[in-house]
Structure 1
Amino acid sequence: MKASSRNKSIAIISGQFFLIGLAAFQIDALGILPIFIIVISFFTSLIHGWLYLSGYKGTDAFSVYQDGAKTKATALYSGFKRKIGK
């Protein structure tokens, strides 16, 4: 059986909640709650879809942030090291 990606699953489920929120908004049910469902599920599916397409199959957004900060720190360190060495 093929292993499923966590980010792909979350993006698909968030997309389904987005559609449910749109349907609830169209029939004027539950007051302002559908707007919150729409906004939260849209951005959740956007973030996790981007993570899946970027190649982060089983990680969360915080670990991706840490990878980016580590890359930035390594680049800054090597840049300062080169200037000090001259």
Structure 2
Amino acid sequence: MAPDHIMLGALLSACKIHGNLELGERVAEILVNCGDADSGTYVLLSNVYSSSGRWKEAAQVRAEMKESGTPKEPGWNNIGHP
């Protein structure tokens, strides 16, 4: 079974948690090339770079997100709400 964008997003998230920059870059590239990249893809990749101290690349990813017209979804939670 070929991975879908949900599986790849989970893998990208794991790359951030475990600091696997190389695999994170490859997964994000696949998502972008397939047209399945969303704001989470760009934010996670940016965070992978930031966690590795690669601030220039992190800023570059955020700029690419803006240029592609991909809006960042605002964060929210429902703690304290029924």
TM-score scaled by structure 2?
0.31
Greater length-normalized contact order (CA 8 Å, ≥ 6 residues apart): 1
Structure having the larger proportion of residues in helix: 1
